[in-house]
Amino acid sequence: LRQRHVGFEWGTGDILVYETNFKLQGAGSARSGTPSVHVVRKDEDIYSPILRKLFNESHHIFVGLQNIQEDLPSKNKKPQFVSISKNYRSVIRACMEELQQGAGACCVSILLAIELIWNLCEVLFIDAAPAGVLLLHLLDWVRLHKADVDERAREVLQSESPTHHHAYWEVVISFVLQGRMDEARQVLVKQANLQPASRPIYQLMDSLLQKMPIFNPGGTQTLTEFDVKWRHWHEECDRCLQDNSFASNRHLETICKILVGDEDTMLEHKELLGTWYHFLVSRLLYFHPTVKPSELHYYAQSSMDMFLDFRSAPEPLDSILLAAFEFDIHQVIKDCSIALNNWWFVAHLTDLLDHCKLLQSHNLHFGSNLREFLVLEYASGLFSHHSLWQLAVDYFDHCPEFGRVYLELQLERVPLETERKALKVLRICEQRQMNEQVRSICKIMAKRALSNNRLGSALSWSIRAKDAAFATLISERFLQDYCKRGSFSDLDLIDNLGPAMLLSDRLTFLGKYREFHRLYGEKRFTEAAKLLLSLMTAKIAPRSFWMTLLVDALPLLEQKEVLEELFISKLSVSLSLSLSAVCLFQDEDIESTKLELLRLALARNLAMAIVKEGTVEA
């Protein structure tokens, strides 16, 4: 689109960009060809079938988190928050496994980064592990995200001669760098069995690995006691190195240098470490295992500087992890919002951190807090999807400040392709007393049904919308159809109008007129005559329908039970008056012969009624 003038239109989840006919100053002659139209989506990930599983599963976790009792102390809720965090991570892992089976390498790398950051935030912020336990959690974090060590170990151990495999010592050193002493000893013993002459130094190394103290948070040992014990072990390793106990075997000497925390030796194995944060954890393991959370930022920054080449700038992931090690939560969220291509991660992580009371001091300048802003952005993106929009409703519900306003605006934009979808949207609005949206949806569906000549559906929607004017219009259509066909359609609906018929006079007339036909069909002539009389005297019938009422009334005048009720004179008088009104407003469509026949019939029945009522029985 270079050297072109473009216009754009905002959509609910995308932007439509198109070329215009406007010519820029200094631009060359107009290019030939058809102008292009581009659709730019901001949340492309929501259209991935596998990632939809992530959105659906995480929605259930999100709703469950909102239902945690607020009155419980934060300490009592901490295990629940940690469990919820692990649930989020398990959903991410499940999606990664599905993507790895397909061809989603790009999405896998993004999910790997998301899970890496989330896991670290869980360790540092949600679990908030103290000194001693902190390093154990960081070791688990590194082991989980450096799984290629296990794959390489299986390859070595399943080979014909593991000790002669080119990656044998790489596996041993990798295990040591991750603090996995038992696995390292199991692999080392294979080498010791093949070299009886060197068995003493292998046994010495095995002893050092076995003796390495590991802090047990559930035990009786205090952190100070552990620190003293670890220092004694560290000094023993250092003595072995100073005594050149492993000088005859460079691999064992390398391992011993790692055990004493030699940074240069660790950096010589960058390819085994892979990342600066693995180097950080290995460095802490053999240099300062009782590191406090407040000291992490110093070691993190120096480890990144030592590991990364000074000529290469840190990647966005490096900056995010470094901000986490510096306990700068807001910087982590900010950097993730910029680096990641959707709002899922920052919305759910921020929501969890907010429940942990870690974001209370950070409000935005435009009215909403950080948590609500991110949740609103994520939910708005979901609304652009044809099925995920239903998940977004719960997210809006749990945004107390602006959630309802956003939901009202988004629901108005949902395309109502089918009645089923319209009913879903309507149910959402009714549950939240969104009366204006309910009326709007019902009016749209009523007009659509009427345009398709589905009168029953149109009437049902107009009643639901409480739209008297539209209900009157549809009622008149029903009456017009009756005049043309001589029968009503959608009898089930009309017969069961109930109190809804009071919405408008025309709808009332439609319901009562149908009731008149039902009574007449059941041969309950007296009740039918009374109802017809009330319809005439109430004057709620349309003028075009008066002649039809007169014709309907004539058979009743001949019924014996009506005569016995001495009711016929009132009916005849009413019919005569109605006939006079018809004549007064006579139009061209009413045949004069039909009027004469009606007039004669009414005169005869009126005379008969007068005689009947004036006769005194003997």
Q: What pLDDT, in 10s, does the model give residues 346-401? A: 999 999 999 888 886 555 565 578 889 999 999 998 888 888 889 999 999 999 98
Q: What 3-state class would DSSP assign to 37?
A: strand
Residue 69's identity, in one-letter code, is Q
* pLDDT at site 618: 43
Q: And the tokens for 212?
A: 């390495």
Looking at residue 177, its pLDDT comes to: 93
In this structure, are strands 14-19 and 6-10 parallel, antiparallel, or unpaired?
Answer: antiparallel
- Per-10-residue mean pLDDT of the chain, 618 residues long, equals 67 68 56 65 62 90 87 74 94 87 72 93 92 93 88 89 88 93 91 81 92 88 92 94 89 93 92 92 94 93 87 84 94 91 90 87 65 91 84 93 91 87 91 90 88 85 83 82 75 74 80 81 79 75 73 68 52 51 50 65 67 58
pLDDT single digits (tens) 286-306: 999 999 999 999 999 999 999
Q: What is each CA distance from 536 to 487, 508, 570, in whole angstroms?
A: 20, 13, 12
Q: Which pLDDT does position 105 carry in this prediction?
A: 64
Quick one: pLDDT at residue 77?
A: 83
Rounded Cα distance between 539 and 85, Å, is 69
Q: How far apart are CA 129 and CA 223, in angstroms?
A: 13
Minimal CA–CA distance to 455: which of 439, 440, 444, 471?
Answer: 471
Evaluate whether 37 touches 14 at the Cβ level (below 8 Å).
Answer: no
Sign of CA dihedral 232, 236, 237, 243: positive
Please count the CA atoms within 13 angstroms of the CA of 387 that sit on its side-chain side: 8
SS3 of residue 9 by DSSP: strand
What 214-218 contacts at long range (C-beta under 8 Å, 24+ apart), as own/partner pairs, is: 214/136, 214/179, 215/132, 215/133, 215/135, 215/136, 215/289, 215/290, 217/132, 217/133, 217/136
Would you say 269 and 177 are in contact if contact means Cβ atoms under 8 Å apart? yes
* Contact (Cβ atoms closer than 8 angstroms) between residue 203 and residue 284: no
pLDDT at 254: 93
DSSP 8-class letter at 547: H
The model's pLDDT over 507-558, given as tens digits with 9 standing for 90+, comes to 888 788 788 888 878 878 778 777 777 777 777 777 777 777 777 776 766 6
Strand order in the sheet with 37-41: 6-10, 14-19, 37-41
Phi, psi torsion values for 336, nearest 5 degrees:
-65, -40
What DSSP character marks residue 183? H
